């Protein structure tokens, strides 16, 4: 499998509607609802991009449309990122908490089953998804796709030119408390967790998810690893790839 990076630049299928969950221009979500009768499970999707403003939600529209076609209502969430006023830690997570609560409170008219709420994130969005699931109730499961789930390791490897330093506002030695608050490796989650990663990922190494799952299992906290042989970083969010079938299977299982 090879990463089809062109998905970052293609126009995504149109959403059913765009809803604002806050007053900032970046506080909105794109909702897609299955054409069949519900009630539908809900997937809140968090895009990646190493937490930076240059990457937005558009490229995740493909996976959201694909899941909506399989009976899962999807909310593709935009949020303030590094470079936006209020973006970075903790503003980015505060946005996502507001979006999640907005969804649970306002989407009854779309025939969505709030008891089957899943949070999914890709790359840096995987870190955000796990953090969100750790601090919100009524989450059935969380799915991390090629997630940056170990912030200490992200700093040690200087991923994307020290993106984590920009996001959190310093190094682990400078702000250890903030790293503990933001690092999924150091959080306690009680919900079902799925870590999906490709062995051919050259953006976020597969060892991030391998080590996360091993650490959680050692601590007695359940997490499952789905490793896809040869898959690259963007294969996991591209419905045209063979890897996508495995991602779709995980989501449908989590939503059941």
Tell me: the pLDDT tens digits for 103-152? 999 888 889 998 899 999 999 999 999 999 999 988 999 999 999 999 99
Domain count for the chain:
1
Alpha-helical regions (H) of 69-220 = 91-106, 124-135, 151-156, 163-168, 176-182, 207-218
* Model pLDDT, residue 108: 81
Q: Which of 8, 13, 16, 15 is nearest to 59 (CA)?
A: 8
C-beta separation of 76 from 30 below 8 A: yes
Report whether 207 contacts 172 (CB < 8 A).
Answer: no
Give the domain range for residue 40: 5-255
pLDDT digits (tens, 9 = 90+) for 172-227: 999 999 999 999 999 999 999 999 999 999 999 999 999 999 999 877 677 999 99
**Distance between CA atoms of 173 and 132, rounded to whole angstroms?**
24
Q: CB of 241 within 8 A of CB of 62? A: no
Tell me the whole-structure pTM to 2 decimals. 0.96
Mean pLDDT of the chain: 95
Residue from 229, 253, 226 nearest 242 by CA: 229
CATH label of the domain that carries residue 16: 3.40.50.1820
Angle at 187 between CA 181 and CA 191, to 5 degrees: 135
Mean pLDDT calculated for residue range 6-35: 93
């Amino acid at each position: 499998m090879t990463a089809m990076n062109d998905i970052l630049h293609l126009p995504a299928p149109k959403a059913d509607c765009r809803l604002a969950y806050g007053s900032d221009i970046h506080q909105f979500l794109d909702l897609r609802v299955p054409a069949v009768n519900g009630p539908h499970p809900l997937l809140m999707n968090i895009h990646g991009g190493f937490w930076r403003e240059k990457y937005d939600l558009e490229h995740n529209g493909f996976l959201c449309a694909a899941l909506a076609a399989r009976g899962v209502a999807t909310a593709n969430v935009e949020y303030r990122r590094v470079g936006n006023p209020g973006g970075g830690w903790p503003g980015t997570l505060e946005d996502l908490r507001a979006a999640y609560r907005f969804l649970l409170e306002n989407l009854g008219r779309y025939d969505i089953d709030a008891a089957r709420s899943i949070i999914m994130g890709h790359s840096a969005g995987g870190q955000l998804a796990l953090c969100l699931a750790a601090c919100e109730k009524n989450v059935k499961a969380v799915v991390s796709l090629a997630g940056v789930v170990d912030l200490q390791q992200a700093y040690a490897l200087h991923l994307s030119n020290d993106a984590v330093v920009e996001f959190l506002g310093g190094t682990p030695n400078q702000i250890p408390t903030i790293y503990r608050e933001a690092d999924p490796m150091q959080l306690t989650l009680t919900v079902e967790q799925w870590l999906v990663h490709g062995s051919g990922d050259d953006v976020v190494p597969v060892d991030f998810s391998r080590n996360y799952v091993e650490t959680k299992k050692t601590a007695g906290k359940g997490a499952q690893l789905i490793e896809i042989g040869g898959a690259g970083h963007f294969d996991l969010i591209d419905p045209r790839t063979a890897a996508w079938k495995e991602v779709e299977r995980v989501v449908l299982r989590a939503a059941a």
